[in-house]
Chains A and B, each alone.
Chain A
Amino acid sequence: MISYRLKENIQRAILYLIIAILALLFLFPFFWMVLSSFKLNKDVLAIPIRFFPSQWNWMSYLNVFTKFPDFNFPRFILNSVIVTTLAVLLCLFFSATAGYGFAKYRFKGNNALFTFVLATIMITFEAIVVPLYILVRQMGIQNSYWGLIIPESLTAFGVFMMRQFFYAIPDDFIESARIDGANEYVIFARIGLPMAKTALLALVIFHAQWVWNLLLWPMILISDPDKRVLPQGIALFKGGYNTPYPEQLAVSVIACLPLVLLYIFLSKYFVQGITMTGLKG
């Protein structure tokens, strides 16, 4: 008995050691980023490298909001929040409805149509940027939120994931609801969706981080400074002659905070929810 406890403790110690090393390795670049945002521009790239700033530049964060009158960062953040929230909601809508439809109904062409949807995963943004821009312009939604939101809400990965999940839900609940006389859409909304909560939350974080950091499409689509999103703001810092690194890094730190908070917030439900999603008999 004792040797078993000892063995466990050794295993525990080793695990924690590995975790400590991992934490260090994974967090190190992030620390560097945060610390460098407090350095003076010339110190960021100095030789020999200094981990800590030789002179603390508290102004970099303030400068981000005050020194660049054309770059209205609060506005960029607001735009990013609007676009990301709506794109994610729209993504949830598409993925949940299509996933449910493919998983729970046996209609002609189910497999073929699903393959069609799945095939779109292979369509990279870079390849379709120009035709998509022309199309969006024809629709009149270029340089607008919807021009960003709609294309950014489409991902076959979401449909794939939700279909997988809905497969796993036994049909019994649905059958009994049908017998009770509920219509299909009510069943979807009242039974299917709640059961899918954890998958939906996972999809939220996956898709949110993609949309939040997307640069190429907004860059081409949005020329109006008022509608720019945050990645464009960060990229704009790279001046032709001169890049103010501390400010750029400061913005990057600010930019990742909402997603970090979102993840921390969601992961509580996520982990709990998964262990609770017992549809076990």
Chain B
Amino acid sequence: MNVLGVGSEDVLFLEGRKRMPKASYSVTRLQRHGYVFILPTLIFFSIFLVYPMISAFRLSFFDWNLLKPKVYIGLKNFLTMVKDARTINSYVRTLHFSGISVAAINILAFIFAIMFSSRLIRWKNIWQSLIFLPVVLSIVAVGVVWEFMYQSTGIIPVVLRKILGASPVWLTNTKAAPYAIIITYVWKSVGYYMVIYIAGLLDVPSSFYEAARIDGAGFWGQLLYITIPSLKNSIALAVVSCVIFTFGQFSIQFVITQGGPSRSTEILALLIYRQAFELSKFGYSAAISVLFFLTMLIFSLIQLRLFKSGAVGA
């Protein structure tokens, strides 16, 4: 049984019967202890996360700059938002950023995890730590360093020009800037997800691989028929959290491009921040947060159906 809840039994039984215990939610005295266990979390989450969020939602019906009293304006913020080219642009940019980042991060993390679990190499720990290193760096430092590297006289364009003869103007080109951000973000995050995949991989019993090899499966066969199915839970956890984290990502764009050039990297969380803290439109900002939250809600519902609440063996 590994960290993420996939055990050997589950793999064997996945394809055949569904070994799910009957969901008999009894309110016996024993089961009621469950309430006690979840109580601290429920209380604190409700007070410090849910209540402020509800306040924020309420705020979306008002016009407020924090200094003068709130003015009730009903649905006006929402009506403006739907027609606002800037918000629509931001939403599209966020989908773009999230979509590409999630794909790149997970594919790379998976590949790294497999590479660093191979029995062919030594010092696995060191290689893993190297990839994980960017994860622990402060975002301000990351922003400063990568900004230097992307500038027109910075190392990345210089090297690209030497190798390929030309380089995009990364930070001032509206088409290239989103990719500059994605590259930096992938660099910073892939280690995090690699750890999740390694945890999942390490616990696939080697007996499976032995069996497969005896059956004549080569590397790719083992990958397709043993590794990936066993990692279904890890993949679910990694992809779902990746989507959620990238959708709410703010600091990378804030530090490197400030949403520019010309709003090409102004993703939703940055717009929410900007409307509130730069343009003093706290009500409008709250309305955009509602949009953000609803998107995440819909995504979570979809993923809940796809992965059956993400827990195999529930």
Contacts and interface: CB of A to CB of B under 8 A. Distances in A.
B235 interface: no
Contacts, number: 312
Nearest to B295: A122
B5 A167 contact: yes
Contacts of A199: 3
Contact of B233 (A127, A164, A230, A278): A164
Interface stretch (B45-53, B85-93, B258-266): B45-53
A169 interface: yes
Given A168-B1, A275-B202, A101 B36 contact: yes
A29 B23 CA distance: 51
Question: Which of A164, A216, A253 has the most chain B CB atoms inside 10 A of its CB?
Answer: A164
Chain B interface, >50% SS class: helix
Given A94-B44, A123-B293, A184-B33, A271 B272 contact: no
B130 A98 contact: no
Interface in B262-301: 269, 272-273, 276, 282, 285-286, 289, 292-293, 296-297, 300
A159 interface: yes
A54 interface: no
B37 A106 contact: no
Contacts of B233: 164
A101 B38 contact: yes
Interface in A110-169: 110-111, 113-124, 126-132, 134-135, 150-151, 153-154, 156-157, 159-161, 163-165, 167-169
Given A23-B127, A165-B5, A157 B52 contact: no
Q: Which size class do B's interface residues fall under? A: 35 or more
Nearest to A248: B144
Nearest to B146: A29
A101 to B, nearest CB: 3
Contacts of B120: 8, 11-12, 15
Contacts of B30: 105, 184
Interface of A: 8, 11-12, 15-16, 18-19, 22-23, 25-27, 29-30, 32-33, 36, 44-45, 47-49, 51, 93-95, 97-98, 100-102, 104-108, 110-111, 113-124, 126-132, 134-135, 150-151, 153-154, 156-157, 159-161, 163-165, 167-170, 184-185, 188, 198-199, 202, 205-206, 209, 212-213, 215-216, 230-231, 234-235, 245, 248-249, 252-253, 255-256, 259-260, 263-264, 267-268, 270-271, 274-275, 277-280
